[in-house]
Amino acid sequence: MILFFLSSGLFLGWALGANHAGNVFGTAVGTKMIRFKTAAIICSIFVIAGAVISGAGATHTLQRLGSVNAIAGSFIVALSTGLAIFLMTRWKMPVSTSQGIVGAIIGWNLFAGALTDFHSLRKIVITWIIVPVMAACISFVLFLITKAILNRSKIHLLQMDMMTRIGLLVVGAFGSYSLGANNIANVMGVFARVTPFSDLTIFNAITLTGVQQLFALGGIAIAVGVFTYSHKVMETVGSSLLKMSPVAALIVVLAHSIVLFLFSSETLEHFLASNGLPTIPLVPLSSSQVIIGALIGIGLLKKGNLIKLNVLGNIGLGWIATPILAGLIAFISLFIFQNVFDQQVYHKVTFDLNAEVIRQLENEGVSDPAISTLQHKSFENPATFESELKTFTKLSPEDRKKVIDYSLRELFKIDQHTLTTKINRQWFSAGQVEALERLIDNTYNHRWQLVADLKNMSPEWHYRDKTKLNKRFNKDLEQKYQIIFEIFRMSNTTELK
């Protein structure tokens, strides 16, 4: 059953491999600089590596946008994206997996009554607009530099051919890694919260988390797409769309890979932060739009008719049409799946603003005289709860979010068996595990209660100051908390009280 639910994500992965590998190796294969087999093998290896090693960054942003909390819901979200892509392609309209999945997640949010994080949405949308421009600038500069170097250096045509081949292979590998790192979020991101896999240690040396195994599976789906269907796409890209010299093509692919890497690498984010530089948001991008941006960069220099206004118009259309279509399909499919096939497409959540929660909020400086009017009211929909809070209180949007988060009612029980079998002792520190052990048999109704107890037990459960430098540590700790919530949550929340 789990595999059935994952199948829509795997299908998306296959489609991504079939279409987007062409962006990375299309010119090299189309111009016969690299054999398809070589390109497919390198592309597959590096896509999987990118997905497993660096796939988490962009996934977090998608998860913040909306946390799909039931595997059937994730299935519909991925399937709707796939359908939207299929329809848009049939209608010969430009399409992007990233834009589709964002629309489908918002569709799920609307159906499940979950709140859409507009901060994340704004970040994603602004990035989409900036990215083609950024790719154009990078390819423009790279082209100028390469041209200056090639004009000065006296390289034999055959040596240049050899260097270009090696360059296309290396840049193709880098591009595939970046593609895997950035776009795995589109394929498997919605399943990350409901991953059926538990941690796996290989030869006592490498530990793959459940999410990493999920991403590896998505990476394999992409690789299958590359092997089974990308050959024609590569031939088309190489021979008809991109009529340019292999060196120019190398620059376009390099610019594409750099941009995808910038928007997916957590290591780079940490490096920038530790040097006091502004960080780059980790957002899943449209690989095709990045390539078009990079082409425009070279088109500007060539002064030819490479830049066509209708291409730019099509990108704009893709930004609007794809998410709307995917969102609509997701909403309708969720309705059908829930009511016709009787599947749980989202877990119902209860929000209970009791005295204990109000006291805790007051301790943390969130208070409003009117908040007590909502005391003892139970809400099953965060959107309704938010609108009530908006009507009766004067709380800021951030405070309202905090009230909603703190009122969320779940049941957690720390038990010895789960602790021994499901906690990865290589990832969790000894102090963190010890703190958990001291809480065995404790139960909690709210997340903040469990967090508070863990913090009391060990300083290793404390977040560090919110500086960019500490972002990585805090993100890691946040992931650990998420794992704790997932594994110690009791399935039947009616047990509480």
Q: How far is the CB of 147 from other proteins (least distance, A)?
A: 6
Q: How far is the CB of 201 from other proteins (least distance, A)?
A: 36
The smaller minimum CB distance to other proteins, of residues 33 and 112, is found at 33
Tokens representing 30 are: 């189309």
The smaller minimum CB distance to other proteins, of residues 41 and 125, is found at 41
Q: Which residues of 187-204 are buried (b: 16+ CB within 10 A; e: fewer)?
A: bbbbbbbbbebebeeeee
Q: Shortest CA distance to 172 belongs to which of 315, 29, 376?
A: 29
Q: How far is the CB of 415 from other proteins (least distance, A)?
A: 56
The smaller minimum CB distance to other proteins, of residues 243 and 348, is found at 243
Q: How far is the CB of 257 from other proteins (least distance, A)?
A: 19
How many distinct helices (H) and strands (E) make up the chain? 19, 7
Helix or strand or coil: residue 408? strand
Q: How far is the CB of 481 from other proteins (least distance, A)?
A: 48
Q: How far is the CB of 131 from other proteins (least distance, A)?
A: 25
Distance CA(300)–CA(271), nearest Å, equals 32
List residues binding other proteins (CB under 8 A): 31-33, 143, 146-147, 150-151, 154-159, 161-162, 165-166, 245-248
The smaller minimum CB distance to other proteins, of residues 143 and 406, is found at 143
Q: How far is the CB of 119 from other proteins (least distance, A)?
A: 43
8 A C-beta contact, residue 135 and residue 182: no
8 A C-beta contact, residue 110 and residue 327: yes
The smaller minimum CB distance to other proteins, of residues 126 and 144, is found at 144
The smaller minimum CB distance to other proteins, of residues 245 and 467, is found at 245
Q: How far is the CB of 24 from other proteins (least distance, A)?
A: 18
The smaller minimum CB distance to other proteins, of residues 241 and 247, is found at 247
Q: How far is the CB of 20 from other proteins (least distance, A)?
A: 23
Q: Which residues of 5-31 are buried (b: 16+ CB within 10 A; e: fewer)?
A: bbebbbbbbbbbbbbbbbbbbbbbbbb
The smaller minimum CB distance to other proteins, of residues 162 and 370, is found at 162
Q: Shortest CA distance to 194 belongs to which of 458, 489, 493?
A: 489
The smaller minimum CB distance to other proteins, of residues 299 and 382, is found at 299
8 A C-beta contact, residue 62 and residue 102: yes
Q: Shortest CA distance to 111 belongs to which of 379, 350, 335, 323?
A: 335
Q: Which residues of 100-119 are buried (b: 16+ CB within 10 A; e: fewer)?
A: bbbbbbbbbbbbbbbbbbee
Q: How far is the CB of 143 from other proteins (least distance, A)?
A: 8
Facing residues of 378 across strands?
352
The smaller minimum CB distance to other proteins, of residues 228 and 245, is found at 245
Report the relative pairing of strands 443-444 and 412-413 from DSSP bridges: antiparallel
Contacts of 305 (CB under 8 A, 6+ apart): none
Q: How far is the CB of 294 from other proteins (least distance, A)?
A: 15
Residue 407 burial (10 A CB sphere; 0-12, 13-18, 19+): buried
8 A C-beta contact, residue 394 and residue 368: yes
Tokens representing 101 are: 């999945």
The smaller minimum CB distance to other proteins, of residues 38 and 354, is found at 38
